[in-house]
Structure 1
Amino acid sequence: MLIFDQDIKEQKMLIAHSKDAVAFCSDDQLNIETVTDKKGVEGFLKKHELMDAAFLDITDTDGIDLSKNIRNAYELSELLVIADASISPMEYMTPDIRAASLLLRPFGTEQSRQVVNQFFHAYYRNQAGQKEERKMVIENRQGKISIPYSKIYYLEVREKKIFVRLKDKEYSKYGTLENVLKELSDDFIRCHRSFAVNKHYIDRVKLSENAIYLEHNIMVPLSRSYKAELKEYMKSLQTKE
């Protein structure tokens, strides 16, 4: 977890309230890293591939842009923004930040405790609600993240790893595409020796270009060996219609 706040006193308050809230909601061990400036945030982004949650001070000169960068880097993370009356909600209540909670300055101990408690209670409710959906677990030295299959656009074998591509982010894990596909649902179909795509994101197939276009115009190669299977799948969709 990341806390970006210029005020050291606020940092200590948020750390204490976060630990209390997480201890109440679960048995998870909370690892918190605190930073006070743009350089600290950029350093965190370079070091950590995974992050569950962040508290972000957007009153800093670069606060809005840094929050957008963090959202882009951690698509599945929950964010709480710290703002004040000088900043219009139009600047931070946006799709490219997607804040789950707001802590408005000036705030005291009780307001901080209440907002942080609500934030983590909602976080764990969401986690519980998603348990029924199958997920891929990716683990590295920073921790682990569970990615719902429905968020995965495609899988790619590269550099002796499996790269899991989401809309605006990718994660990597060791393994073979064959073994990973055995774990996945039938929503995924192989289209190349090194690629498999989520059927639900297929927008169009261009056989003449040996290409599959997913939503947001994401292109994945289609090899001759897998064209017949793709054609059968697309034909089955037309039959259903």
Structure 2
Amino acid sequence: MNVVICEDNLEQLSEITKTIHNYALMEDNGIMIGLSTTNPLEVVDYAEKNKVDCYFIDIDLNHEMTGLKLASNIRQSDPICCIIFVTTHSEMSYLTFTYKVAALDFILKDEVDLVEARVLNALKEAHRRYQQIGQDKAVNLVKLKVGSRTRNIEFHDIYFFEASPNPHKLIIHLHNEQIEFSGRLKNYDKLGEHFYRCHKSYIINKQHIQQIDVAERMIIMRNGETCLASSRLLKGLL
């Protein structure tokens, strides 16, 4: 679960970051902090390039973009991520409804002794929801168990599945990442209209094909990786 934190107070930013990092390290549950910043524009830029599952946002960021505007921007492009506000402005909690951001929690910094516990409780609830997302068939995600961790990967981010040389293992190829996990190719034959079994060892995402070399029976993907194709299945793909 990828977490982003946006808080203008450097000391409080450090405390929230440390709380989440220590919990993730202790539990080894796959929670990671992708970005910890005081600048909401950095959050917008990061979210455009990366899948973010949970945000901790201060409402008053001492910036022309408030935390509420940032959250509204995020919600317009991502209807399922968790947004948690951490702020001193309790009187602004009602505005979260006005901006329709569907916040998971509203944590007050004034309650100093409770902030760490509230951050952890909100983080645990966000993680619980994250783990359930892959079970929702209406959401186009592949849910992978990698050791003790869970990864939810959107269909669009998948380039292809490959049979691993290790028994009963598959390798899922993303743009610049490969993940080995337990599974069988036949379980992903019916994943969706964009996925095609081109070889006994490969299922490709047709959206990411860059070129098909018919003579070599080779499919070149947009990230430069290649997949084999059998003569019969290549004809079906063409």
Match of 1:200 in 2: none
Q: TM-score, normalized by length of structure 2?
A: 0.53
After TM superposition, the structure 1 = structure 2 runs for residues 49-198 of structure 1, keeping only pairs within 5 Å, are: 49-60=50-61, 61-63=64-66, 64-85=68-89, 87-93=91-97, 96-108=100-112, 110-130=113-133, 132-134=135-137, 136-137=141-142, 145-146=152-153, 171-174=156-159, 182-184=190-192
Structure having the larger proportion of residues in helix: 1
Runs of 4+ off more than 3 Å: 23-26, 127-135, 144-147, 171-175
Match of 1:154 in 2: none
Q: Is the 8 A contact 1:5 1:56 kept in 2?
A: yes
Q: Determine the C-alpha separation between the residues in 2 that align with 1:124 and 1:3.
A: 15
Summarize deviations over 1:32-75 as a string: whole Å, max 9, x none: 312212332333234x2301111111123522111100122332
Q: Secondary structure at the match of 1:72?
A: helix
Q: Is the 8 A contact 1:17 1:112 kept in 2?
A: no
Q: TM-score, normalized by length of structure 1?
A: 0.53
Q: Determine the C-alpha separation between the residues in 1 that align with 2:72 and 2:28.
A: 29
Match of 2:218 in 1: none
Question: How far 1:25 moved relative to its partner?
Answer: 4.6
Residues 125 and 39 of structure 1: CA distance in aligned 2, closer, same or farther (over 3 Å): closer
Match of 2:32 in 1: 30
Q: Is the 8 A contact 1:80 1:101 kept in 2?
A: yes
Percent identical pairs in the alignment equals 13
Q: Determine the C-alpha separation between the residues in 2 that align with 1:94 and 1:14.
A: 26
Query: Aligned-residue CA RMSD in angstroms?
Result: 3.6
Q: Secondary structure at the match of 1:33?
A: strand
Runs (5+) with no aligned partner, structure 1: 148-163, 165-170, 186-193, 195-241
Runs (5+) with no aligned partner, structure 2: 145-150, 161-185, 194-205, 207-238
Q: Determine the C-alpha separation between the residues in 1 that align with 2:99 and 2:19.
A: 27
Residues 37 and 133 of structure 1: CA distance in aligned 2, closer, same or farther (over 3 Å): closer
Q: Determine the C-alpha separation between the residues in 1 that align with 2:31 and 2:47.
A: 21
User: In the comparison of the two structures, how many residue pairs are matched?
Assistant: 158
